[in-house]
Amino acid sequence: PIFVTKPAPGLVEAAIGDLQLSLYVAPPGQQRVLVLQTSLQVAMDVVPALNQGKLQITLNGRPTIKTDVNQTMIPLNQVAIENLVDFLVPPVLQLLVGSWSGFPLPTHPAFNPSNVDFLRDGPGQDFLTIKGDL
């Protein structure tokens, strides 16, 4: 993934350049067969937060998806498939991000950060600074 800082409210843009999505059919007792293979480009605005020592993210708005069909087993309308995937994947990503409990940060029992804030920093405003009280 690639992370780019931007002005609030979606403080960070997260992007995945080439995510492969493949659909297989696996009849009982037979080899699985590739039915559809697509490449996805995903971009979403995320808002970081610190909660009980875990770095959590929430989505700000709907993710943007760009799909390209790479391979199909049968001749299908590729534009229709791309539109369908572009429509179905954003809600799935929103559910996945919502169910993620967070990334635990290194902690020490004597320190409990509070008033944590995330902001853009650096000469090019391309750093993400996390500041707070201990």
CATH code where residue 43 lies:
3.15.20.10
pLDDT (tens digit per residue) in 97-128: 878 778 887 777 777 777 877 778 888 777 77
In this structure, are residues 39 and 22 in contact, taking their beta carbons and an 8 Å threshold? no
Six-digit token pair at 15?
């992007």
pLDDT (tens digit per residue) in 56-100: 888 888 899 999 999 988 888 999 999 999 999 999 988 888 787
User: Which residues have C-beta within 8 Å of that of residue 14, sequence separation ≥ 6?
Assistant: 1, 2, 3, 43, 44, 45, 46, 57
State the total domains in the chain.
1
Query: What pLDDT does 66 receive?
Result: 94
Query: What pLDDT does 9 receive?
Result: 63
Q: Is the pTM of this model over 0.75?
A: no
Query: What pLDDT does 39 receive?
Result: 95
Range(s) of the domain holding residue 8: 2-133
Higher pLDDT, 132 or 87: 87
**Helix/strand/coil for 4:** strand
